[in-house]
Amino acid sequence: MIINTRRFGEIKIDPSKILTFPEGMIGFGGRRRYVVLPFAEGTPFELLQSVDEPNLAFVVINPFLFKPDYRFDAADEDLEAVKAGGAREVVVRVIVTLPPDLAQMTANLQGPVLINEARLLARQIVLMNADYSLTHPILPPAAAPGPK
């Protein structure tokens, strides 16, 4: 299947890899079909690309790569929405914001995306955990310059 994307132009995807978000992404409820694409070779980033809207894509990352202690309890209704029997059946991704200065990139730890790869179902959820931010730094702060 051929889809149009803003980043890559026309690309061929495997239709058997299309994820369905029954409720859409938050703020984009009308767009329910997405595919995960590599963002750039040699990086941990991926592109969650809308199959039906070329200009709609989200850069995502596995949050455990930069926040190994990231933890939350997925509600039963969230797991049921992606037909997962438990948290071990889902892959978690978070949305990344890429500013002009990439050293300042952040991730939305309050709105993770749960993906059941076996059933090709996904859902973005909202956590009420005050410990997590919408703009959590991905890269550690640069070391403060020492005295010269």
Average pLDDT of every residue of the chain = 92
- Alpha-carbon distances of 103 from 61, 97, 139, rounded to whole Å: 15, 11, 7
The domain limits of the chain are 2-137
**What's domain 2-137's superfamily in CATH?**
BH3618-like (2.30.290.10)
Q: Could you report the per-residue pLDDT of 15-51, keeping only the tens digit for each?
A: 999 999 999 999 998 999 999 999 888 999 999 999 9
pLDDT value of residue 143: 47
Q: Taking the chain (148 residues) in consecutive chunks of 10 residues, what is each chunk's mean pLDDT?
A: 92 96 93 95 95 96 96 92 93 96 95 97 92 92 56
The pTM score is 0.90
Structure tokens at 63: 């949050």
Q: Which of 12, 92, 15, 7 is nearest to 56 (CA)?
A: 7
Structure tokens at 43: 């990086």
Q: Are 47 and 80 in contact (CB under 8 A)?
A: no
